[in-house]
């Protein structure tokens, strides 16, 4: 397992933003690529476990409105699959 450098502060996390489409709207998500790598290293096998872990970690650095959480869940899993399966 490769130890990734965690951001020292919120400003550093903001420098690691990637744009993602969530429910037809483009949003910026901080730390997404690092989070996907971390979740992949857990070697979770069920879709639900992967999504739950992605969202739990994304919420550390990003605000997810409760009214849009299901759309974020779909978007996070889509981005996870893009990165994990070439």
What single string gives the DSSP state of each residue in 38-56?
Answer: HHHHTT--SHHHHHHHHHH
Q: What percent of the chain has pLDDT over 70?
A: 81
Q: Give the three-state DSSP class for 7.
A: coil
What's the pLDDT at 85? 77
What's the pLDDT at 7? 62
Domain-wise residue ranges, the chain? 31-84
Distance CA(46)–CA(26), nearest Å, equals 27
pLDDT digits (tens, 9 = 90+) for 9-42: 666 656 779 999 999 999 999 999 999 999 999 9
Distance CA(20)–CA(2), nearest Å, equals 25
């Amino acid at each position: 397992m490769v130890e990734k450098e965690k951001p020292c502060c919120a400003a550093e996390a903001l420098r690691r933003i990637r744009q993602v489409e969530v429910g037809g709207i483009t949003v910026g998500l901080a730390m997404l690529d690092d989070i996907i790598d971390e979740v992949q290293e857990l070697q979770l096998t069920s879709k639900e476990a992967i999504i739950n872990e992605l969202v739990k970690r994304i919420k550390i650095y990003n605000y997810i409105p409760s009214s849009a959480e299901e759309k974020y869940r779909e978007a996070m899993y889509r981005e996870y699959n893009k990165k994990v399966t070439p």
